[in-house]
Amino acid sequence: MSERFTKAAARNIFYGGSAFFLVAFVALTAHSHIYIVRTSTDSEGLTESVARGKHVWERNSCINCHTLFGEGAYFAPELGNVWIRYGGDEDPETARAILIAWMQSQPSGIPGRRQMPNFNLTEQELNDLADFLEWTSRVDTQGWPPNDAG
């Protein structure tokens, strides 16, 4: 082995390493995308009402107070599993009614409790938001949130 590290050897190591890690990055990105699309996301359940519910979520900036899949502010509860907490996996109609009634009753006026504003959502918007929250409960979150209370 040569005692001298030449410029050509350094260049070859640099380009070879760059090419190797570029290929590894692309392969891992493709793997992540395939995993998310095939196993994590409930793509069959994506309907127009779910998409409209996501728009209601975004338009009213719900993420400024709530978290969804751990992303957002920690001021109010996690809503990724709210459908399950309200019993939606056992009785969807009752869970929807409770969820909509809860949103319509805000602010609750309970002393010492944080108050959620009333966004004056229409029946359609409330149902769409409930559909969105139902859809989020079917996403494979790999154990998130760590407790049932959100």
pLDDT tens by residue, 84-136: 999 999 999 999 999 999 999 999 888 888 889 999 999 999 999 999 999 99
What global pTM score does this model have?
Answer: 0.76
> What tokens were used for 67?
């978290």
Predicted local distance difference test score (pLDDT) of residue 1:
54
List of long-range contacts for 73-78, beta carbons under 8 Å, 24+ apart:
75/114, 76/114, 76/116, 77/149, 77/150, 78/145, 78/150
Look at residue 31 and tell me whether its pLDDT is greater than 60.
yes
> Radius of gyration of the chain from Cα atoms?
23
Which of helix, strand or coil describes residue 67?
strand
Return the structure tokens found at 142.
């790999």
Q: Which residues pair with 67 in a beta bridge?
A: 72, 78
pLDDT of residue 41: 77
